[in-house]
Amino acid sequence: MEPDVTKNITVLPGDGIGPEVTAQAVKVLKAVAKAFTMDISLTEKPFGGISIDQYGEPLTDDTLQTCLQSDAVLLGAVGGPKWEDLPHHQKPEAGLLGIRKALGLFANIRPAKVYPAFVNNSTLKPEVLRGTDFVVLRELTGGIYFGQPRGYNAEKGWNTMVYEKYEVERIARKAFEIAGLRNKRVTSVDKANVLDVSQFWRDVVAEVHKEYPNIELNNLYVDNAAMQIVRDPKQFDVILTSNLFGDILSDIAGMITGSLGMLPSASLGEKHALYEPVHGSAPDIAGQGKANPIAAIGSVAMMFNYSFQMTKAAQIIEQAIEATLQAGYRTADIFQPGTKLVGTEEMGDLIVENFEAIFHEEGLGVFTL
């Protein structure tokens, strides 16, 4: 493959273990780009708590403008007890809401895939988990997190859950398009038996579904969906839901796979995309080399898939992760007796080595660093 136009990637390491896992993700990113002779340019910027410390705000105009000019953004993690007492609009998490809104990242994709080597790491029985492979598609820039009016006083607190028709239409189309590349099933999750906004959601999704007659559409109430994810996760292909419900369901889906440290995510808009591990900043283990970089590396795989349309590169990254797990290597969060404990950097190195081996085995070229 000849070098194409340079892809500009903004890297936001963030707080806590963010810089550690991001460093390993960048290591894999560079290795894959070199293997596929792809030109990339990486620009690192402060974001979250570290940006508050340096500039007094979690998301500076400079960082935002760099992200807006990028082909993709890779984020580590933000937050920590150091900034918990700040007003809500000044906390590191406010930077997340701000960047999602500014980049128009309306669709959050959270895979819930159980690696064969990992079926015994969950609290669920292996026979329940084996074969689980679905995604939660969460609407990310509307709903109760952004609705107005909102606020609280000494006597009450209030938020508004509101969706415009276009917001539901675009996330529904994204769900049907993704399902078309998978197993052609969409489960739309709402609370239409109680909430007017959910009945509106259900009606609009049904209307959009008419454009995709080859895709199966089912509806579930959110409480039932939470139960079904734990009871029989294999039944799902693409779960489509709102911002609040998606926030909750994606974490449930994450835990059935055994560890949030394993799960990547992608946030997509019409023009921009951001990739980040699902886990938080874990300040209690920051700087100790214990953090699991697999979620961050998996986020790079999603970047190659969704932003660069390099599905083969994404597949080989996934295969390299699986090969590393099959060989018994584990970071502390997923360690079990009989497996081999490794640190953050060693896990990254092992995945790069397995990527190299698989790339060479498939006859794609000679891999050199």
Residues involved in catalysis: 145, 191, 223, 247, 251
Phi, psi (5° rounding) for residue 221? Answer: -70, 150
Residue type at position 229: I
3-class state of residue 139 by DSSP: strand
Q: Which H or E element spans position 41?
A: strand 40-44
DSSP state string for 105-122: --EEEEEEE--GGGTTSS
DSSP 37: T
Q: For residue 46, say if its preceding peptide bond is cis, omega within 30 degrees of 0.
A: no
Q: Which residues contact 333 (CB under 8 A, 6 or more apart)?
A: 259, 261, 290, 292
Q: For residue 149, say if its preceding peptide bond is cis, omega within 30 degrees of 0.
A: yes
- How far is 54 from 46, CA to CA, in rounded Å? 8
- How far is 355 from 361, CA to CA, in rounded Å? 10
- How far is 227 from 249, CA to CA, in rounded Å? 10
